[in-house]
Amino acid sequence: MAPDAGSARDTDWDGVRLHIVTGKGGTGKTTVAAALALALAAEGRRVLLAEVEGRQGISQTFDVTPLGLTEVRVAHAANGGEVFGLSVDAKAALLEYLQMYYKLGRAGGVLEKFGAIDFATTIAPGVRDVLLTGKVYEAVRRPRDHRAKGPGAAPAYDAVVVDAPPTGRVVRFLNVNHEVADLARVGPIRSQANSITAMLKSPQTAVHLVTLLEEMPVQETVDTIAELRAVGMPIGGVVVNQVREEILTLDVLEAAARNAISREDVAADLKRVHVRATDAIVDGLLSEARDHAERVTLERTEAEVIAGLGRPTYRLPSLPEGVDANGIREMAETLMTQGMA
Partner 1 sequence: MGRVLDIDALIGDPQTRIIVCCGAGGVGKTTTAAALGLRAAESGRRVVVLTIDPARRLAQSLGLTTLDNTPRPVADIDDTSGGSLDAMMLDMKRTFDEVVEAHSTPVKAEQILANPFYQAVSSSFAGTQEYMAMEKLGQLRLEADRDPDNPRWDLIVVDTPPSRSALDFLDAPKRLGSFLDGRFIRLLAAPAKAGGRAYLKVFSAGVNIVTKTLTKVLGGQMLSDVQTFVAALDTMFGGFRKRADHTFALLSDRTTTFIVVAAPERDALREASYFVDRLDEEEMPLAGLVINRMYRVSAPGLSAARALGAAEELGDEESGSSSDVTQGLLRMHAIQAEIADRHESLAKRFVAGHPGIPMVEVPAASGDIHDLVGLRAVGGALAGH
Binding span for partner 1 by CB under 8 A among 9-17, 69-77, 226-234, 274-282: 274-282
Q: Could you say whether residue 202 binds partner 1 (CB under 8 A)?
A: no
Give the CB-side neighbour count of residue 173, counting CA atoms within 13 A: 20
Provide the 3-class DSSP secondary structure of residue 53: coil
Question: Which of 269, 300, 307, 326 touches partner 1 by CB under 8 A?
Answer: 269
Amino acid in the structure at residue 257: A
Q: Which of residues 286-305 bind partner 1 (CB under 8 A)?
A: 286-289, 291-292, 294-295, 298
Q: Which of residues 86-105 bind partner 1 (CB under 8 A)?
A: 98, 102, 104
Considering the complex, what minimum distance in angstroms separates the CB of residue 179 from partner 1? 6
Considering the complex, what minimum distance in angstroms separates the CB of residue 99 from partner 1? 12
**Within the chain, how many helices (H) and strands (E) appear?**
14, 8
Considering the complex, what minimum distance in angstroms separates the CB of residue 169 from partner 1? 8
Nearby residues of 278 by Cβ (< 8 Å), 6 or more positions away: none
Q: Which of residues 319-338 bind partner 1 (CB under 8 A)?
A: 320-323
Q: Which of residues 146-185 bind partner 1 (CB under 8 A)?
A: 165-166, 168-169, 172, 179, 182-185
Nearby residues of 197 by Cβ (< 8 Å), 6 or more positions away: 175, 176, 177
- Residue span 216-255 as binding mask against partner 1, x where in contact by CB under 8 A, dash where not: xx-x------------------------xx-xxx--x--x
Phi/psi of residue 146, nearest 5 degrees: -65, -15
Q: Could you say whether residue 55 binds partner 1 (CB under 8 A)?
A: yes
DSSP one-letter string for 62-91: HT-SPP-SS-EEEEE-GGG-EEEEEE--HH
Question: Which of 128, 135, 141, 208 touches partner 1 by CB under 8 A?
Answer: 128
Instruction: Report the C-alpha gap between 136 and 161 in whole angstroms.
Output: 9
Size of interface with partner 1, in residues (CB under 8 A): 89
Nearer to partner 1, 132 or 156 (CB): 132
Q: Is 1:140 a contact under the CB 8 Å cutoff?
A: no
How would you write 104-172 as a 3-class SS string? CCHHHHHHHHCCHHHHHHHHCCCHHHHHHHHHHHHHHHCECCCCCCCCCCCECCCEEEEECCCHHHHHH
- Residue span 3-42 as binding mask against partner 1, x where in contact by CB under 8 A, dash where not: ---------------------xxxx--x------------
Nearer to partner 1, 158 or 220 (CB): 220
